[in-house]
Structure 1
Amino acid sequence: MSQSTSTPAWRKPLHYRHIATSGFARSDGLFDIEGQLQDISPDGTDLIFKTVPPGTPIHDMRIVLTVDRDLVIQAATARIENGPTKFCPEIETAYAALRGMRIGPGFKREVKARLGGVQGCTHLTELVSVLATTAMQTLFAMQRTERGSRRPADGQSRMPRPSLVDSCHTHRIDGEAVKVLWPEHRRAGAQ
């Protein structure tokens, strides 16, 4: 991401944050949703607890969520490869608290209740939110694969849950997408 939205001017990179996520189908019918977050200072930095050389991650953190087809978390592991202190990895095991949670409405609120503040790591907890949407996209991809990449047949919902209604501008209850995908959930009076 090197394009500026403001007037072109000389720019010096000061910080990079990289977030990458992937979803995998497992041979046992479950899905692994993996994420990595890295914060990198191109020039390096001197922190209170250590010196970070140029290009080396200040934060390098990973989470793997194992979910079922209903988006219920069966297992969760967190790993802090690099953090600003040697104490950061102490919180890794806290992320097992995600086990049993269902990714869907209210998920982020429940994650914050379980892992917010001193109960978790700010960066790992941010990554969990990104993994939630990656899990949904992974299941959509699996459904496409099972259909042989064909579009859903007439009468089949194109999306698995009307819980997407009012989740964003495109899926607003009076919008065209909801009219096509879930006409039965359109707001009365919407045309």
Structure 2
Amino acid sequence: MPLPPPNVSREPLHTRSIRVQSYGREDGLWDIEAELIDYKGYDFPRHNGEIFKAGRHVHHMHLRITIDEAFTIVAAQAVYDAAPYEQCVNIDAAYAGLVGMNLLKGFRHQVKEHFGRTAGCTHMTELCQVLPTAAVQTMAGRRRQKRNSDVRPFQLDGCHALRTDGPVVLEHYLKWYTGDSAEAAAGASSDSPSYSHSS
């Protein structure tokens, strides 16, 4: 459902878009590529007298990480297509420092510590923040394959919908359901094959 239309007239000022694409690789690893674009809805003058036109990218940056099955980053690369200052692009090589971090183990905190303030680029660091949830979606197919394993799925109790006493876990992760036992028993019986008998 879209947002309701505004009841006051307005003009566009700033647009930010973030896009993430993931890939399965032949070597058994996974690539996640994230892109951030910023632009203004109006023309504005730059310090050199140039007019920066509406829609022209103020920021346009790319980040690629390669992860293994345990969600550990084994390779990372950052590049810039557009940035407000020439010096911005000098920090791209620093993001190779993502290597060794695990997307599911304090990743966002580590990124802030490692690339905070002058040690990184505000916008590239912000782009890093979308990587953990994108990686979880990337691995969704593998999680389905392992659903009946003895290892508790890491995503359980990670959000409201996947609380272990809730209906989603009851339906899709019955083994790990912690809610009312009568509901669990009913869920288990519904998984059993049913047979009709003619009189």
TM-score w.r.t. the length of structure 1 is 0.79
Deviations 1:27-86, CA, capped at 9 Å, x for gaps: 222111001000011223334477532211100011000111211111111112111111
Correspondence for 1:148: none
Contact 1:17 1:37 in 2 (8 A): yes
1:82 paired to 2:74: no
Match of 2:156 in 1: 165
Any idea what SS the aligned residue of 2:154 has?
helix
Given that 2:164 and 2:176 are in contact with CA atoms closer than 8 Å, whether structure 1 keeps it comes out as: no
Q: Residues 108-127 of structure 1: matches in 2 within 5 Å?
A: 108-127=108-127
1:163 counterpart SS class = coil
CA RMSD of aligned residues (A): 2.9
Letter in 1 for 2:69: R
Query: Matches of residues 172-183 of structure 1 in structure 2 within 5 Å?
Result: 172-180=163-171, 181=173, 183=175
Q: Which residue of 1 aligns with 2:54?
A: 54
Instruction: Flag the 1:118–1:5 CA change in 2: closer, same or farther, 3 A.
Output: farther
- Counterpart Cα distance in 2 of 1:107 and 1:120: 16
Matches within 5 A, 1:1-191: 4-5=3-4, 7-48=6-47, 51-141=51-141, 143=142, 156=148, 162-180=153-171, 181=173, 183-184=175-176, 186=178
2:160 is paired with a residue whose SS is: coil
Q: In structure 1, how many angstroms separate the alpha carbons of the residues matched to 2:63 and 2:96?
A: 10
For residues 123 and 168 of structure 1, the distance between their equivalents in structure 2, rounded to whole angstroms, comes to 26
Higher relative contact order (CA 8 A, sep 6+): 1
User: Which structure's CA Rg is the greater one?
Assistant: 2
Q: Is the 8 A contact 1:170 1:177 kept in 2?
A: yes
Q: How much does 1:4 deviate?
A: 4.6
* Identity of matched residues, %: 35
Contact 1:105 1:163 in 2 (8 A): no
Deviation at 1:21, TM superposition (A): 0.5
CA distance in 2, matches of 1:99, 1:82: 24
Cα distance, 1:105 vs. partner? 3.4
Q: TM-score, normalised by structure 2?
A: 0.76
Gaps of 5+ in 2: 184-199
